[in-house]
Every structure is written in C-alpha cells, then in structure tokens.
Structure 1
C-alpha cells in the first residue's frame, strides 16, 4: 500500500488576469464538488427517484496574511462604500499540483473562473501568524 500524499507533495497557485496573484505558499486547500440532487416521487411509489441537480464547485484556501492589498486583489477595489460602484469580482484560475512520483501520484486539479466571495482575516496577540482564509466558488473543474 503506497504512502498517502503529504503537504510537501502539493503546491497551489492562483492565476489572475495579470498572471500569478496572491503568490506564496498556501497552508491548506480544501474543496468540494456537490451534485445538489432532487427527489422525484412518482404516484404510487414510496421510494423517490433521485434526479441530478445543480453542480456546485466550492473550496477554501488558507495561509498567512502577507499583503495589505488583499481587499483589492479579491474584490477588485481597495475601497468599498455604500453609494459607490463596486466592480465585478476578479476571476481566477486556482491550480493544485501533486508531484509525488515515488508514490505513483502526479497530476493537477484546476479550478476555472473562480470567484472569491468571502475574505476572512484572523489576528490574535503574540507570536502567532495572522491568518487569511479565502473561500472560492468556481465555474469549472478539470483534472489533468
């Protein structure tokens, strides 16, 4: 049985309209692909038929906070105020590469037309790293 993939076998890159964005190493990537199924109960049946529904691709990137320009990078504007026009959210390509040939695992996951609808920053006292979480939703997924 091969060893599982470890954190140093994986790298994550975020590409925006101007090339690599939010560069640096990410501490964590999690994602989910959900088929929001619907139940269809036919007349005289007690067991529902399961119909395919809307497919949702979502995830989260985590790492240390490294830039004061993060609001501009995520939302396309450095100032967000009521009464002012907020631009369309930037679109990103998020690539997760696995490079562990000794474990028989090499490949790439690519999330296309990703939007980051939520930015969370956590700061606490002491020597701990200020953390930044980037939730994302994507319009496409490809495994290569």
Structure 2
C-alpha cells in the first residue's frame, strides 16, 4: 500500500484494519495482494445485486455491469458511478497496469484493462478480487 497523504472518508490505522479484516482480506485490501484465480466467492456468480467494498461498505459495482470474462476473477465493464473508484499507475510484477481502489477507504480492489476485445459498452474489464467485495442481493430480483 502506498503511503499517501490523501484523506479518505473512511480512514483507519493499519492496526484497526488488521483487527477488522481476516488475514486474506487484509493482504488483498490493504497490501494490494491478489487472490488466486477461480477461487473467489464471486468469479462465477450471476446473482442480481450491488457489490460493496468489503472494508468499508461503499457501493462500487452492480450485477448489471458484471460479465463473464473467463479470467477467474469477477469482471465488470464499469463501476456503479463516477467517483466510486480511484485509479493508480501500477508497475509491479514487471508490467504496466492501472490499479483500482475504493474511493471511500483507499482499499485495493484489483485492476482495470481495456482494449481486450470484450463486447462490452466500454471495452474495459475491471478485474476485481472477490475478497475485496461483498454482494448485497437485490431482494426484488429473487
């Protein structure tokens, strides 16, 4: 995690995050880790609802923008709304990528890629770790 001086609506000490999150959640959300592909809770989920940040509860994505990219992680073609996520340049692992973080608490969510040829309205793939999300099911759709 970078040592940014920016203030976010939800700000906690690393000790507070460690107490509130499981070790895996902490590793991904606070240390920019990645879960193994095809192991997360939501990679193959087709349930209607809103995906929230597991760390702070901010609404980030909906099932309407989720699509099957067959990459092993939940994929969305856009966030729920402008300003819900923030973007950072990431050159770890010897490649250039755009990291996606929660705009509310600065937790790591995954990465966004574009120009991969998916037939989506934005030609983008938000490749998000399941462990970074919780799904609030749409009761009306059940």
TM-score between the two structures when normalised by the length of structure 2:
0.31
TM-score between the two structures when normalised by the length of structure 1:
0.31
The structure that has the greater radius of gyration is 1
Could you say which structure has the higher strand fraction?
1
Could you say which structure has the higher helix fraction?
2
